[in-house]
Structure 1
């Protein structure tokens, strides 16, 4: 389904990626970004958010915190980004951008709190009194850090690996305690997830967590806290921003929306185009299948069940040619040194062919490269370099790409 959407919404991206890989400009095991499409997507998202008077803090981990992607998103009017963890925060600052939200989904280790404060995040989510106290103790005199409280109610949806926060039933006491801490200002609340994608109806609906945040916001207002911020993340796109606004959001954190890789975008009549694919290369054959180099085959939770497919092809005289093949990724617990392709008899597959995989990615979780490309929409694709998934130039990239990274953009032949 992701592959069908890619071919429908952005076929030029597929052609350009195959050409650039075949020319040696994109290494195997790379997430490739169509910067032109990301810029267009960002324009749609920001315009819709402004229509509802919402602040936008983009999530960047999905595309490896890549600074070139941050630049084109920023051009749409984005001033600050969300840092899911400290690695994300360092990449955002290294790219020359400011942090809008820190500490959500991942809290800050105690010996890194002072560093985090020096980054001047606009908002900082705390899960506990202890994290709030650490911020207070490290804060400089006269400075106030705005914090958001991660809250949960008894019936809320909880992702086990993301669990934590202040219980709604004890929030009065927690706010009383936090209000005594110097250097700290309680500014609002957040949760995760605030929405979920229903695979059967193919719609996005609010989770019970939204009601809990609304109740928490009422409690904060009763404590004299004005202009309470309500931060919502998950399943955001141009078509679902209104849902967040109706739930009382003041801040949203779209991520997959910018690369068109949210499940809802795959099925809905959405203006965003897919702008991120995984590129690899056929390594060898074994039995009836072909194996391609892995390293980036992680599929994000929340991806839609589908028959995994890939495209496999090469350059031709007029334009790249490709064929479909079934994709088998390693099971959990097995290192993805390779992925496997199975295809019908008569399919023309050769060693060195380009493999195109399209799914719901989380580049930062992998050991892949990230390669931003501009100029696809004008027919003049240019590779801007090779980065790691932490948002820095990839010192471990193949030698031939490292030599080229210092000489400006690379253009498809």
Structure 2
């Protein structure tokens, strides 16, 4: 999906991946993160957002909740993380990284609320009045007022399986009355997901979710709740930040843009450059096909093209065969034989945190002096330096 763009726009990453694998610095089933390029992408996004008056929260689930990369993104100017679930929140908290938004897509569990509220996230996203009341209690104990984003949902909205939750529009008037009696929360904004979807050609188009957000804002305003924040996530990147601004949004959440791997990056060259590669190795051949070590397969990743580099540095293009969702990816299959031990490179849309892959954070690629800063597991835990 992104391999040709990576060859063209970041060939140093290709060279570094082959070198590190063939030297034994990294093993098969490893994602390489090009730290220099990710930092540059973060600076591009920050500049675009500042020009548009949009606040950004960076997302790390797609890069395996990596704390080292998170620190670098923060130092590049995007101060706060958005955490997709409470486990990602704990990674940020363990590494003293500021949290901009927690609770969307997964709310904080009841028995973790006190710890999270006391840590000081800028916003917490809420799906239910019971959660609102419990956050109020935790904030009272912490002697603070917690800012809240309400997730809203209507039957006509675009919602992925496994992500259902939110307030219906006809609940908001009563919710406003409840909120006015809770002294330790402040309803500051509205959110939904996804607010944009790729048309498969060249554009991200607004979903009906945005209309729901606009209606929710009006209802709450009519009931005495001033909404100052519109959190508009989905494929936030240099090209879509103006779209967020155009519909009155105030917050975006770049994730794949940090590695140059949004759906738009597969179709066009944007300011962000490709900064992530999947590295494997040919294990064996059988019946005219080669088998490479798996572990990093993501069913929505559109993994297709492969670059195979043998130990004589000869390069071969190939494709990976379609892999069913009913099997474990112990191996993936290429369509041709290749020398055992050869390096295999791929670049596709992934969510590292749902794989069993390793993550190598590599600096110095842009200067031709790659250095492995650390090897992490897919959940952000350091394995070795």
The alpha carbon displacement at 1:392 in A equals 1.5
Q: Secondary structure at the match of 1:279?
A: strand
Alpha-carbon distance in 2 for matches of 1:263, 1:370 = 22
Determine the structure 2 residue equivalent to 1:375.
Answer: 364
Alpha-carbon distance in 1 for matches of 2:38, 2:79 = 16
Residue-by-residue CA offset, 1:248-302 (whole Å, 9 max, x unaligned): 11111010000011110121231111111111111111221111111111144xx
TM-score, normalised to structure 1, is 0.89
Gaps (5+ residues) in structure 2?
none
Matched, 1:313 2:309: yes
Residue-by-residue CA offset, 1:50-104 (whole Å, 9 max, x unaligned): 1111110011100011122112211221111101111111111233310000000
Q: Secondary structure at the match of 1:161?
A: coil
Determine the structure 1 residue equivalent to 2:323.
Answer: 330
Matches within 5 A, 1:4-403: 4-141=4-141, 142-199=143-200, 201-226=201-226, 228-300=228-300, 308-316=304-312, 320-328=313-321, 330-343=323-336, 349-394=338-383, 402=384
Alpha-carbon distance in 2 for matches of 1:14, 1:25 = 15
Alpha-carbon distance in 2 for matches of 1:329, 1:338 = 12
Q: Secondary structure at the match of 2:121?
A: coil
Residue-by-residue CA offset, 1:347-368 (whole Å, 9 max, x unaligned): 6x21111111110010001111
The alpha carbon displacement at 1:227 in A equals 5.3
Contact 1:18–1:315 under 8 Å retained in 2? no
Q: Secondary structure at the match of 2:62?
A: helix
Alpha-carbon distance in 1 for matches of 2:221, 2:281 = 56
TM-score, normalised to structure 2, is 0.95
Cα–Cα, structure 1 residues 206 and 112, in superposed 2: closer, same or farther, change >3 Å? Answer: same
Contact 1:221–1:228 under 8 Å retained in 2? no
Alpha-carbon distance in 1 for matches of 2:87, 2:322 = 27
Alpha-carbon distance in 1 for matches of 2:237, 2:381 = 27
The alpha carbon displacement at 1:219 in A equals 2.5
Contact 1:19–1:315 under 8 Å retained in 2? no
The alpha carbon displacement at 1:308 in A equals 1.1
Contact 2:176–2:225 under 8 Å retained in 1? no
User: Which segment drifts farther, 132-141 or 95-104?
Assistant: 132-141
User: Which segment drifts farther, 353-362 or 265-274?
Assistant: 265-274
The alpha carbon displacement at 1:175 in A equals 1.8
Q: Secondary structure at the match of 2:72?
A: helix
Gaps (5+ residues) in structure 1?
395-401, 406-413
Alpha-carbon distance in 2 for matches of 1:41, 1:90 = 25
Q: Secondary structure at the match of 2:190?
A: strand
Q: Secondary structure at the match of 1:38?
A: helix
The alpha carbon displacement at 1:153 in A equals 2.9
What's the Cα RMSD here?
Answer: 1.6
The alpha carbon displacement at 1:119 in A equals 2.1
Q: Secondary structure at the match of 2:367?
A: coil
Contact 1:217–1:228 under 8 Å retained in 2? no
Alpha-carbon distance in 1 for matches of 2:299, 2:73 = 24
Residue-by-residue CA offset, 1:116-141 (whole Å, 9 max, x unaligned): 21221100001111211221233334
The alpha carbon displacement at 1:177 in A equals 1.7
Paired residue total: 384
